[in-house]
Amino acid sequence: MWKDQLGSDNGDFYQGASGLWEGHGSCSKYQRRLSNFTVIFGNYLFDISPESYLMNCTDLPSSICSIPNNCAFGIDAMEANLGAWEDSIFLLGNIFLKNFYTAY
């Protein structure tokens, strides 16, 4: 899990009021210690770097983060029971789309 990569600093992250995980302080504090988040679609691998999936709360609406100077983890898993789906489903949204050419 991504929090394990942070070692003793993983206690810095907590689930904020919006549901996103937040860490105390700037994202630069965490970026160098986290690895890429890899998403697999079919036979294609897509790497999302920590610089892309960590968001400084100063760049987000005030309702998203508990403290403006925090760092938010921009990928979230759905906890809902989805019947036949056994694996976790992740909400990627703009965190994914902004890094790759996307055609609809």
Q: Where are the beta strands (DSSP E) in 19-97?
A: 21-23, 37-41, 44-48, 54-56, 71-73, 76-78, 89-91
- List the domain boundaries for the chain: 2-97
Q: Is the pLDDT of residue 4 over 70?
A: no
At 100 the pLDDT is: 80
pLDDT digits (tens, 9 = 90+) for 35-85: 898 888 889 999 999 999 999 999 888 888 888 899 998 877 666 555 555
pLDDT digits (tens, 9 = 90+) for 7-24: 555 557 888 878 788 888
CA 30 from chain centre, in angstroms, equals 12
pTM as predicted: 0.73
Burial class (CB in 10 A: 0-12, 13-18, 19+), 72: buried
User: Which CATH number applies to 2-97?
Assistant: 2.40.70
Tell me, what DSSP letter sits at residue 43? T
CA max distance for the chain = 42
CB 36 within 8 A of CB 50: yes
